[in-house]
Structure 1
Amino acid sequence: MRVVVFGGTGLVGSHTCKALLACGCAVTSISRGGLRAESQPLLGESWVSQVDWQRADAAEDGAAAKVLEGGVDGVVSCIGSGDLQHASAEAWNGWAWSDKSIRQWRENSEPNLKVVAAAKAAGVRRFAFVGVSSDSERGFGGPNPGLYSGKRAAALAARDAFGAEFTYFGPSAVARRADDPRIKTLNGGLGRGLNAINDFIGEIRSFGPDYTTSTRLAPPVPAADLALAIAACLSGSVAVEESVRASGMTLWTDMSGGSVTCLEREQTEIRDAMRHVDGTAAILELAERARRAELDEAAAAAAAA
């Protein structure tokens, strides 16, 4: 199975390349900088030589289509920019987006939309998109509208293009290593206690849960586990059922006329049906299913031998 990973030199992308190789896939990585020591966190590992590292900018017209020539079975998009948990008033100019939000919308939507269109035209079967958890979007979509709306536009385009063969992965945060101290702290007694307090306060407030706080209290998912879950979906060893994903506030936008404005000031929640793996717990559960599938396959092979 030939898979192309867009954004393959980043933290999630590089681990995904490694996990796909372990599934027996032929892997091509596409990034603007190509393979560089400062951008490749796993550069010293032996598997790196097995990946076809290519330099290309998916935002340029025709770049993604050229990369996908010759037959590709699956695509993973890890393209994205901006601080997902940044909250300030600089994203808005009254009820319209600021120049920064417009720029972030373009940086997160345009290259991904071109990848989706090129993948569909090239006959790609499966598409995985690395986005963000629904709690993150509901907590930070208001103060970060361009970034989150850009990601959502790309995800919906991929869902519409690939249907049941599209999977959305939504981490709240990603850790480089499984022993990241944030994971131990937020999974421990202190983290559970703070989450319980936040949940209780959310239950008694008239306007609902504090998704900003719940996102910041969510333990990050190790990059290797997220990558394993992605690779398992692309290779077909595990399946994800369709469900409804709730996304953030004030995300409906109008890009006509060269400006961006919020169409519904009172928009509180958007719900989309798709195959998605939302949040740390769901990603870890899918990664564990993938490990069990690997063990079952190895046991069956040994019995057959």
Structure 2
Amino acid sequence: MKIACFLLAATLAAIPQCSAFSTNSVLPTRRHVSAPSSLQLKADEQYDGDDRHSPKCELSRRTALSTTFAIIATTASPFLHPIVSNAQDSKGKVVVYGGSGYVGAHACSLLTQQGYAVTSISRSSPETQLARSKSILGTSLSNVDYISLDAGKASLDDLSASMKDATAVISCVGLSPGSQNQKDGNGLVNSRITQAAKAAGVPKIVYIGVSSTLANGPAKFLLGDYFAGKATAEKSVTSEFGGKNSLIIKPAIIAGGPPGEIRPPGPPGVKAVDVTAVARAAVSGAVGDLIGVIDGNEAIEAL
């Protein structure tokens, strides 16, 4: 910046005969800082005998100043071009709770590809979320805003604030079968997210639930709290947003998993669905293309 200021002072000193500089002159804006290839004088500009107002002098002054500001723009570009939020010039803002998880990372990737501003929220630090997302996708999503917030402990006001101006919320939050505190970890946490989204005025919500086939099958005797938590979350989505402003996706078994994470096998005879199919369905709900309930892997793959 010191160099830029020196250049401006040196240029002004080099043209003393044109020192009568009007404070009303229009200077180049931050978005248009390159010097023009040619300058045309206005048709009514006439030489009045004062060199300070002569067309030749005016041209010299304009050319010098334009060139100087072009140099300043190049030299001091970090100061003239502030960091711009990814929410600008986007189709809308989508908040993905659990955005660095297996389904969430893929949903974030698809949303950014479609031109949406994306915020990923998790209990993990932004650095951990970014690293985990990269391990899942094989590439970093540097244009995603990662925020650390515990949906189970944060106030509803803080949760609502995290969704300010969002056009949709996707919740991929949940504990795997067999985890501790499965009921509240899947139910209460998602109910709080749903309530906060409603309070924030978010128009659409998408929730990743669980297939009715699994919930009503033999597994319910072993994983009762897990399915009860999922049912609580689904009920909250329907209660707060209704069927026309929400999408509940209910996969059975999702193929694969995050690197290093071992997931329990699915029941015999149940074909796993690809994670990208689930993510695509979630994105379709977030952008308003799908509403209601999609139950089961076959229904998801048929989209």
CA contact (8 A) 1:229 1:283 kept: yes
Q: What pairs up with 1:230-245 in 2 under 5 angstroms?
A: 230-236=282-288, 238-240=289-291
Map 1:261-280 onto structure 2 (within 5 A): 275-280=292-297
Per the alignment, residue 202 of structure 1 pairs with none
1:222 aligned onto 2:274:
yes
Aligned to 1:134: 212
Q: RCO higher in 1 or 2 (8 Å CA, sep ≥ 6)?
A: 1
1:185: which partner in 2?
none
Q: Which residue of 2 aligns with 1:161?
A: 240
Q: Point out the structure with max Rg over C-alpha.
A: 2
2:226 is equivalent to residue 147 of structure 1: yes
CA–CA distance in structure 2, aligned partners of residues 60 and 235 of structure 1: 29
| Equivalent-residue separation in structure 2 for 1:75 and 1:67 (angstroms) | 10
SS of the residue 1:132 aligns to: coil
**Match of 2:250, as an amino acid?**
G
Answer yes or no: is the 8 Å Cα contact 2:252–2:272 preserved in 1: yes
| Separation (CA, whole Å) in 1 of partners of 2:112 and 2:214 | 30
Q: How far is 1:214 from its partner?
A: 8.9
Three-state SS of the structure 1 residue aligned to 2:132 is coil
Is 1:68 the equivalent of 2:163? yes
**In the aligned structure 2, how far is the partner of 1:281 from the partner of 1:162?**
25
Give the alignment's Cα RMSD to 1 decimal: 2.2
| Aligned mates of 1:239, 1:104 — CA distance in 2 | 28
The aligned amino acid for 2:221 is: G
Question: Among 13, 18, 21, which residue is 2:109 paired with?
Answer: 18
In 2, distance between residues paired with 1:7 and 1:135?
24
SS in 2 for 1:221: coil
| 1:36-51 paired onto structure 2 within 5 Å | 36=128, 39-40=132-133, 41-42=135-136, 44-46=138-140, 48-51=141-144
The alignment's TM-score, normalised by the length of structure 1, stands at: 0.60
Question: Which residue of structure 2 aligns with residue 5 of structure 1?
Answer: 96
Shift in alpha-carbon separation, 1:219–1:115, aligned structure 2, 3 A: same
Query: Do the aligned residues in 2 keep the contact of 1:26 with 1:51 (CA within 8 Å)?
Result: yes
Q: Distance in 2 between matches of 1:26 and 1:115?
A: 19
Contact 1:126 1:234 in 2 (8 A): yes
Show the counterpart of 2:299.
282
Note closer, same or farther for the CA distance 1:214–1:11 as it changes in structure 2 (3 Å cut). Answer: closer
Q: 1:174 aligns with which of 236, 240, 254?
A: 254
* Partners of 1:172 and 1:115 in 2: CA distance: 23
> Does the 8 A contact of 1:135 with 1:214 survive in 2?
no
TM-score by length of 2: 0.61
**Counterparts of 1:228 and 1:154, CA distance in 2:** 21
d(CA) in 2 for partners of 1:108 and 1:216? 24
Cα deviation for residue 21 of structure 1 reads: 1.5
- Closer, same or farther: CA 216–54 of 1 in aligned 2, 3 Å: farther
Larger proportion of strand = 1
- Is the contact between residue 172 and residue 215 of structure 1 (CA under 8 Å) also seen in structure 2? no
Q: Name the counterpart of 1:30.
A: 121
> In structure 2, what is the Cα distance between the partners aligned to 1:155 and 1:161?
10
Deviation, structure 1 residue 60? 1.2
TM-fit CA distance, 1:44: 4.1
Q: Which runs of 5+ in 2 are unaligned?
A: 1-91, 258-264
CA shift for structure 1 position 221: 1.1
Give runs of aligned pairs for residues 248-267 of structure 1, distance below 5 A: none
What is the aligned counterpart of 1:122 among 200, 210, 218?
Answer: 200
1:55 corresponds to which of 130, 133, 148: 148
1:204-243 C-alpha deviation (Å, 9 max, x unpaired): xxxxxxxxx994322111111111111112112x334xxx
Matched residues, number: 198
1:191-202 matches, within 5 Å, as none
Query: Which one-letter code corresponds to 2:175 in the other structure?
Result: S
For the residues of structure 2 that align with 1:216 and 1:165, how far apart are their CA atoms?
35
Q: Percent identity?
A: 31
